[in-house]
Amino acid sequence: MQLTTILTALAAAATLVVAGPTPHAPRSDFYQTLYASTDCSGDPIGTVDDNPLNGCQLLPQPAYSVSSFGYGCCGAFFWTEPASQWYCQNGIDGDFITANVTCKSYPDGVRQVSALCC
């Protein structure tokens, strides 16, 4: 009887591991869409999900504007060049705490994005 209980527990744990989060799992509660234009027009360069497991991502080309979706205190750090500076776009950043932001410009160009949850 105990062997059956142990095997059942191991099977349940294996199911949780397989069904657990993946490094690039999308989240619908906060994400940023990056654009090559300065006004969030045209085709997006990419979308960055607010998932700490995504780590730091180097963009294929600089992004000069970002639109955000989400409520609350999650967001992302953006590394810009040539300024060589990190900018935080998250819930502490004014409009980001209460509503979606249609567009924010980064004239120095975003080159890297790192997810952040505060």
Which residues in the chain show pLDDT less than 70? 1-29, 52, 70-75, 77, 89-102, 116-118
Q: Could you give the C-alpha distances from 59 to 31, 43, 72, 92, 109, in angstroms and in order? A: 15, 14, 25, 24, 10
CATH number (2.60.20, 3.30.160, 3.30.420, 1.10.3720) of 28-117 reads: 2.60.20
User: Can you read off the two tokens belonging to residue 9?
Assistant: 């527990």
pTM: 0.62
Structure confidence at residue 15 (pLDDT): 41
For the stretch 18-42, pLDDT in tens is 333 333 445 556 778 899 999 999 9
